Amino acid sequence: MLQTDSLKFSYPKGHTFSFPNISCKAEETLLILGNSGTGKTTFLNLIALLLRPSSGELRINNTETANLSEKQITEFRAQNIGIVFQKPYFVNALNVSENLLLANYLGNKALNKSKAAELAKDLGFEYLLSKKVQELSGGEQQRVCIARALMNTPKVILADEPTSALDDENCEKVADLLEKQSKLIGAALIIVTHDHRLKSRFTNQITL
Ligand SMILES: Nc1ncnc2c1ncn2[C@@H]1O[C@H](COP(=O)(O)OP(=O)(O)OP(=O)(O)O)[C@@H](O)[C@H]1O
């Protein structure tokens, strides 16, 4: 589902990163590990097409992404990649349901209310759909973020430190949800983490 080959990236006047080649098939989970500052979030942002590499190749769902224009990238990302960011980044003026539907809108897809309701049921937050996002607890926001990442049935799910702020019980719940949902829709799941609890659960790992 996803392969990288010789990806390099430099921040302006910054360090040049050469990332190891990775591949992740449908229904597989890959952990990206490494000490602080080794470039894990940078690597995830390249895979999410939020940054463009200075060289190298990134193939997602049989598409070589280097050939896509900026406009095509926005659409491709919204349709193929679900991102669970470290911070939630909701639109506060919209309620939970509308924040979920926004993912459809950005992916140029019809607004799928029944999918939003189904995901909310699966992730246990049906009762929150008409609430304002800023009224949610941290754990609730996290589940809404996961649902939002799944709204367009992506081929690749990317999660940046999804469990670092959670207690053991919620860490396990979030890991279960991500794993179950990615298998259900046949997506590749890539998680950037420091969390030792995830390291013992997912054995397919790469360290930067
Ligand atoms: N926008 C930016 N401009 C310049 N340098 C940056 C930028 N973003 C990150 N860096 C630098 O790139 C390096 C890698 O950052 P990155 O956030 O990818 O690391 P990380 O492995 O995810 O770290 P952590 O585990 O602490 O979150 C750091 O030295 C950071 O200071």
Q: For 62-94, what is each residue's pLDDT tens digit?
A: 999 998 999 899 989 988 999 998 888 899 999
Asked, for residue 158, whether it belongs to a domain, the answer is: yes
Reported confidence tier of residue 167, pLDDT bands at 50, 70, 90: confident
Question: Does residue 45's CB lie within 6 angstroms of at least one atom of ligand 1?
Answer: no
- The domain of 72 spans 2-89+150-207
Asked, for residue 30, whether it belongs to a domain, the answer is: yes
The ligand 1 atom at the shortest distance from the C-alpha of residue 44 is: 18
CA–centroid distance, residue 49 to ligand 1 (Å): 16
CB 33 within 8 A of CB 22: no
What 3-state class would DSSP assign to 205? strand
Question: Does residue 10's CB lie within 6 angstroms of at least one atom of ligand 1?
Answer: no
Asked, for residue 188, whether it belongs to a domain, the answer is: yes
Asked, for residue 94, whether it belongs to a domain, the answer is: no
State both tokens at 114.
Answer: 């029944």
Q: Which is more confident, 142 or 3?
A: 3
Asked, for residue 83, whether it belongs to a domain, the answer is: yes
- Residue 14: predicted pLDDT: 85
Closest protein CA for atom 2 of ligand 1:
11
Whether pLDDT at 159 is above 90: yes
As for the ipTM of the complex, it is 0.96
Asked, for residue 15, whether it belongs to a domain, the answer is: yes
In percent, the amount of the chain with pLDDT more than 90 equals 71
Asked, for residue 131, whether it belongs to a domain, the answer is: no
Reported confidence tier of residue 115, pLDDT bands at 50, 70, 90: very high
Distance (Å, whole) CA 33 – CA 77: 23
Mutation test residue for ligand 1: of 41, 85, 87, 193, the one with most atoms within 8 Å of CB: 41
Number of domains in the chain: 1
Question: Does residue 37's CB lie within 6 angstroms of at least one atom of ligand 1?
Answer: yes
Lowest mean pLDDT among 39-48, 112-121, 130-139, 162-171: 162-171
Whether the predicted model's global pTM rises above the 0.95 cut: no
Distance (Å, whole) CA 16 – CA 192: 20
CB 110 within 8 A of CB 104: yes
Asked, for residue 78, whether it belongs to a domain, the answer is: yes
What 3-state class would DSSP assign to 83? strand
CATH number of residue 18's parent domain: 3.40.50.300
